[in-house]
Amino acid sequence: MAPSKIEYMSDIWKDGIFENKVVFCTGGAGTICSAQVRALVHLGANACIIGRNVEKTERVAKEISSIRPNAKVIGIGSVDVRKFESLKDAAERCVKELGAIDFVIAGAAGNFLASIEQLSVNAFKSVMDIDILGSYNTLKATLPYLVESGKKHRVDSETLDPSPSGTGGRIIFVSATLHYRGMPFQAHVSVAKAGIDSLSNSVAVEYGPRGVTSNIIAPGPIESTEGLGRLLPSDVKKAYTRSQPLGRVGHVRDIADATVYLFSDSGSYVSGQTLVVDGAQWRTSGGIGELQYPDFLLSGEEVANVTGKKQSKL
């Protein structure tokens, strides 16, 4: 069953603000990225979502296309973000069928819990390849179209009037907050996300003069996502949630709303920034669920049930 509007965007946004715009999203069939795309499509955009699983990607694309009459959403599966040609072909198909790429969301990622002792060289490399190389490949494959869109949709600095046809030339990298303070059992992802943050900042500086903005959204713990399920076992979730500054974990709508802000006219002068959407969670300290720091590390035990570990050895 498709989610209702309240589950993927707030009521404050004006319908049609992204009319005739096109968003290209890697990891677009995932829980967070699909909500981001849903919000943009609801507000007028067409979309191309990219994923590994053909059936899932096409199914989610069809579901998203149903939220607005005449919406066009393409689902391209069997795309490996670690392979540039695969992404380049997907971007070319997107432009051929939808006419442009105005917005990009680089959201493909992988994660699991593991200490450095448990983490094999291949597993570490796999996360680097998916997160950092995948983000760079996404950028390279879509940059020509982003530059074209950025040139077409510039904001006049004197009148502040946006282009008559709205915004464009914008990319968001989906990152995390793990590397801000150092998180046990997350060395691989922390290194990867720090690299993605640096990449986004470089894009903002190098391509700002060409009308392209680049920003980072760093989600905290988000309800009903695979990542939260892996990192926070259900038996300790209640206590963990109660310990958060706002007394709750995040919702995909929180991330989707942040996306709309950055891609809309209201974000026209925001570039090279990190928008943390985590309710101040990263300002607190502690372990991950039942893996309390430093007791668990000193015990010599291994993290049990490392979901995704075998799959990461590519």
Catalytic annotation, residues = 175, 193
| Residue type at position 55 | E
Distances (CA, A) of 158 to 166, 207, 212: 17, 21, 19
Tokens describing residue 22: 């096109």
Q: Are 82 and 130 in contact (CB under 8 A)?
A: yes
Q: Are 90 and 18 in contact (CB under 8 A)?
A: no
d(CA 28, CA 47): 10
Helix axes 54-65, 31-42, angle to 10 degrees: 30
3-state SS assignment for residue 219? strand
Helix axes 252-263, 31-42, angle to 10 degrees: 50
d(CA 277, CA 261): 12
**Residue 274, φ and ψ in degrees, nearest 5:** -115, 115
- Which residue bears the tokens 């969670």? 281
Burial of 36 (0-12, 13-18, 19+ CB in 10 A): buried
Q: Are 181 and 282 in contact (CB under 8 A)?
A: yes
Q: Are 200 and 138 in contact (CB under 8 A)?
A: no
Mention every residue, 6+ apart, whose C-beta is less than 8 A from residue 87: 26, 50, 79, 81, 137, 138, 140, 141
